[in-house]
């Protein structure tokens, strides 16, 4: 975590130093746009980390109130998916969202936060040539409504699947080295899912991809809402 905080800060300070000193003024003028983009990327990375830390702190402190209401999932899923495409990877921004008229009685904020983190993970671990999709499945007499986020990314080894909900767990050293992140995305998903009585299941195969399903009850039990 110390490294994850210092790296973008050092990048921001370094490029700002180049832009602001007399000795590097000419160089900065020639490469102003490039340095500005680098500062933006570093600041965005830092903001994501700070937001993840604040979200996890609020959740662990019990400051994540649940407000059930009946609503159609489609527009919420579409809005969240459209806002999740990262600037640095525009090739993966065209996530397919298959919408159905699926209505639930749940908490909008909790579902949006879970979905946002799942999409972020899918986009992060999928090559630009790969694919990330979101599918809605309506409830039946025997099955809950589901939001399924699937990707064609590198997949998760079986041993790592046992630890992915542990805060700060990043998997093998090569993953931690090649892909930026904090290991907080899935832990942030887990607690809100529990608060809305949702079931979070992950199926993954190395070099094939990952599918995460969020199964939603028709409504939130009174005790789940009363807990907050």
How many domains, the chain?
2
On the CB side of 209, how many CA atoms lie within 13 Å of its CA? Answer: 15
| Residue closest to 150 by CA, chosen among 162, 137, 135 | 135
Measured CA to CA, the distance from residue 111 to residue 71 in angstroms comes to: 12
Pairwise pLDDT comparison (80 vs 41), residue with the higher score: 80
79 and 191 assigned to the same domain: yes
pTM of the model: 0.70
58 pLDDT more than 70:
yes
Quote the pLDDT of residue 223. 47
| Residue closest to 102 by CA, chosen among 142, 147, 148 | 147
What is the domain range of residue 160? 69-226
30 and 77 assigned to the same domain: no
- pLDDT interval class at 93 (50, 70, 90): very low
Quote the pLDDT of residue 90. 30
73 pLDDT more than 60:
yes
116 and 172 assigned to the same domain: yes
Measured CA to CA, the distance from residue 118 to residue 139 in angstroms comes to: 21
- pLDDT interval class at 176 (50, 70, 90): low
78 and 103 assigned to the same domain: yes
């Amino acid at each position: 975590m110390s490294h994850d905080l210092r790296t973008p800060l050092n990048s921001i300070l370094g490029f700002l130093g180049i832009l602001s000193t007399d000795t590097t003024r000419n160089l900065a003028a020639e490469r102003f746009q490039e340095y500005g983009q680098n500062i933006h990327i570093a600041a965005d990375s830092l903001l994501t980390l700070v937001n993840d830390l604040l979200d996890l702190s609020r959740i662990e402190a019990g400051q994540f109130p649940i407000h059930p209401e009946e609503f159609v999932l489609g527009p919420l899923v579409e809005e969240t998916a459209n806002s999740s495409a990262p600037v640095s990877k525009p090739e993966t921004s065209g996530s397919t969202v298959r919408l159905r008229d699926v209505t639930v009685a749940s908490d909008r904020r909790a579902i949006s936060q879970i979905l946002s983190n799942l999409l972020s993970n899918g986009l992060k671990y999928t090559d630009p040539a790969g694919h990330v999709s979101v599918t809605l499945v309506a409830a039946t007499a025997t099955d809950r409504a589901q939001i399924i986020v699937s990707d064609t990314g590198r997949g998760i080894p079986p041993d790592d699947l046992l630890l992915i909900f542990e805060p700060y767990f990043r998997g093998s050293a090569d993953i931690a080295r090649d892909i930026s992140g904090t290991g907080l995305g899935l832990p942030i998903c887990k607690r809100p899912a529990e608060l809305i009585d949702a079931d979070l299941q992950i199926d993954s195969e190395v070099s094939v991809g990952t599918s995460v399903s969020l199964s939603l009850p028709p409504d939130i039990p009174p005790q789940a809402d009363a807990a907050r």
